[in-house]
Amino acid sequence: MNVLIFTDVNGVIGFGRYAGSYRVATELRKAGYSTQVIEFLADLSLKDIESIADKFIDENTLFVSFSTTLLIKNTDKRSLERLDRSKQNRYSGHLPQNDEFVEEMFAVFRRKNQKIKIVLGGGRTDNTSLEGVDYWFWGMSDTSVVALAKHLKYGEPLKTIDGLVGKVIRAEDYPYHDFDNANIKWEDNDYIFENEHLPIEIARGCIYRCIFCANPLHKKVGEYVRTVDSIREEMLYNYEKFKTTGYMFCDDTFNDTHKKVKDLHKMITSLPFQIEWTGYGRADVIHAHPEQREMLLETGLKAILIGIETFGTIASKGVGKGLDPELMKETLYYIHEAWKGKVVITGSFIVGLPGESEESIWKTVEWLQREDCPIDDVMFSPLNIRASTYNPNAPLSKIARNPAKYGYTITGPTLGRGISTEGPQWENEFMDKNRAETITRKIQEVFHKENPIADWAVYSRLRSIGYSSEELLNTQKKDILYDANKKRRDMYHSYMNKLLS
Ligand code: SF4
């Protein structure tokens, strides 16, 4: 095998694949490099690693890579609540396992082929400090991954800069110009499970500029959106090959332009099968184009995250969400009227935004607890001001670029060591980061028992391990945890059997 890509989304209930690993696998395979993606990284023992190395590493192997974006420090608690996940993330290294494991894992690979390179890509590569790594990818690697393969196989030149350890390959040296057709071509050796929901890229980056958001790709309208034909082709291929009808839409704001929604609605409703999907959307665009409510429903939307961030009047003005709090609430009622019992709406909120007091936050909580509240599920997070890292182009929010302008003082060290996105302690006129975290925990306790299981982040992951849509829309987390973890464990064994057979 020419290339191995280890990947996982660990610490979350259910099973779902990370698109990025398979996107680069598609490019490598297209360029003629045999590529094996290996799931369940966090579950693998050193014995598993040896078996994998025995089967896949030989003199033709060029590199072994790790897709780091959605990895957190290893934990047995697959039910990790979001706050616990952030905390776990804060203390994580680059990979889920501890240093001794990682060192031995790299050694296992090199014992099979001394020349192979160890490569890390994805969202946790800004800090290039992990011993044993030869190459780091910064930014999108759709093009650079093939350049690396060519360099290692044919000695073609490769543009790099020095990392703390190893070399860095930067996206700006290898831009990707074919996003219109950025498909994932799933292969037999990806071992897709029966009825599995798959990730599919619709668009990359975001056209908005919310002040707290460190989106790595703030783009212009129309940039980095795939053509409808290429998405249709991918869905048809997946259906024919794997009977796929469930998707995790990879798109930071699916409904950002009305034209996009209209075009995709037309295409999806004309497919010879009905899909279901989960993703991200904005309520202000539904307010501007109310017909999107029905259109999204008709395309098969099942669970969505809507970033609301705050109902505080002063705070909402500067945040970038585009709607007055009362209009936002009205829009949510409007949406819920048609989506009730069919689509799980998760509203996300931030504690610690500029101009928002504790009192204002608790008023929001009161509204969210009302019997007639149109939001099914809430997610609160303390404001994170990401610190700059070794990578000068690492994404930073507007607040992080100029904390003082937004009323923040940075008061403590960076907790995430530049590996995770966890930023330093901060303070504003109303609270500091610790207080924001305490408030967030208190709020999560209020909603903990009531939150439905099938939010936008786990609906597809649970569908993939065998629950029906009806089961999920009527189930709470606590009722499913044990059974879901057992089902996932069985999938892991079945996957490993296929991988190593
Ligand atoms: S918070 Fe969402 S809508 Fe706002 S910039 Fe970030 S990705 Fe875009």
- Please report whether residue 481 resides in a domain: no
Are 32 and 91 a contacting pair, CB within 8 Å?
A: no
Q: Considering only 66-75, 331-340, 348-357, which range has the smallest mean pLDDT?
A: 66-75
Residues 159 and 255 in one domain: no
Ligand 1: distance of its center to the CA of 210 in Å?
A: 6
Are 256 and 208 a contacting pair, CB within 8 Å?
A: yes
Q: So what's the pLDDT on residue 299?
A: 98
Q: What is the DSSP string of 335-374?
A: HHHHHTTTSEEEEEEEET-TT--HHHHHHHHHHHTSTT-S
Using a 6 Å cutoff on CB, does residue 285 contact ligand 1?
no
- Please report whether residue 183 resides in a domain: no
Atom of ligand 1 nearest to the CA of 215: 6
Which whole number is the average pLDDT over 20-46?
97
Instruction: Summarize pLDDT for 372-415 with one digit per residue, the tens.
Output: 999 999 999 999 998 878 888 888 899 999 999 999 999 986 65
- Please report whether residue 374 resides in a domain: yes
- Please report whether residue 249 resides in a domain: yes
Which whole number is the average pLDDT over 486-496?
95
- Please report whether residue 297 resides in a domain: yes
Ligand 1: distance of its center to the CA of 88 in Å?
A: 24
Residues 260 and 127 in one domain: no
Using a 6 Å cutoff on CB, does residue 381 contact ligand 1?
no
Please give, one letter per residue, the 3-state secondary structure of 414-482.
ECCCCCCCCCEEEECCCCEHHHHHHHHHHHHHHHHCCCECCCCCCHHHHHCCCCCHHHHHCCEHHHCHH
Using a 6 Å cutoff on CB, does residue 353 contact ligand 1?
no
Residues in the chain, overall count: 501
Q: So what's the pLDDT on residue 89?
A: 73
Residues 198 and 167 in one domain: no
Are 115 and 134 a contacting pair, CB within 8 Å?
A: no
The answer, yes or no, to whether residue 80 has pLDDT greater than 70, is no
The answer, yes or no, to whether residue 303 has pLDDT greater than 80, is yes
Residues 199 and 289 in one domain: yes
Q: So what's the pLDDT on residue 420?
A: 78
Residues 402 and 494 in one domain: no
Q: Considering only 240-244, 262-266, 396-400, which range has the smallest mean pLDDT?
A: 396-400
Q: So what's the pLDDT on residue 423?
A: 86
Q: So what's the pLDDT on residue 482?
A: 82
Q: Which of 202, 204, 208, 399 to mutate to test the pocket of ligand 1 (most atoms within 8 A of CB)?
A: 208
Ligand 1: distance of its center to the CA of 321 in Å?
A: 8
Cα 200 from Cα 114, distance rounded (Å): 36
Using a 6 Å cutoff on CB, does residue 252 contact ligand 1?
yes
Residues 166 and 266 in one domain: no
Ligand 1: distance of its center to the CA of 474 in Å?
A: 30
Ligand 1: distance of its center to the CA of 103 in Å?
A: 37
Q: So what's the pLDDT on residue 159?
A: 98
Instruction: Summarize pLDDT for 441-468 with one digit per residue, the tens.
Output: 999 888 876 666 788 999 999 999 999 9
For the chain, the farthest-separated pair of C-alpha atoms sits apart, in whole angstroms, at: 66
Query: Into how many domains does the chain fold?
Result: 2
Which whole number is the average pLDDT over 66-81?
81
Q: What is the mean pLDDT of the chain?
A: 92
- pLDDT higher at 198 or 93: 198
Which CATH number is 207's domain given? 3.80.30.20
The answer, yes or no, to whether residue 179 has pLDDT greater than 70, is yes
- pLDDT higher at 56 or 222: 56
Residues 371 and 405 in one domain: yes
The two three-digit tokens of residue 45, written as one number: 């023992």
- Please report whether residue 383 resides in a domain: yes
Highest mean pLDDT, choosing among 178-182, 240-244, 474-478: 240-244
Using a 6 Å cutoff on CB, does residue 395 contact ligand 1?
no
Residues 213 and 168 in one domain: no
- Please report whether residue 482 resides in a domain: no
Residues 50 and 121 in one domain: yes
Atom of ligand 1 nearest to the CA of 207: 8
Which CATH number is 22's domain given? 3.40.50.280
The answer, yes or no, to whether residue 211 has pLDDT greater than 70, is yes
Ligand 1: distance of its center to the CA of 253 in Å?
A: 7
Which whole number is the average pLDDT over 260-267?
98
Q: Considering only 121-135, 279-293, 329-343, 470-484, which range has the smallest mean pLDDT?
A: 470-484
Residues 333 and 403 in one domain: yes
Residues 135 and 52 in one domain: yes
Residues 152 and 216 in one domain: no
- Please report whether residue 187 resides in a domain: no
pLDDT-derived band at 417, boundaries 50, 70, 90: low
Ligand 1: distance of its center to the CA of 215 in Å?
A: 7
**Residue nearest (by alpha carbon) to ligand 1 atom 6:** 213
Q: So what's the pLDDT on residue 296?
A: 98
Its domain, for residue 75, covers 3-177+489-500
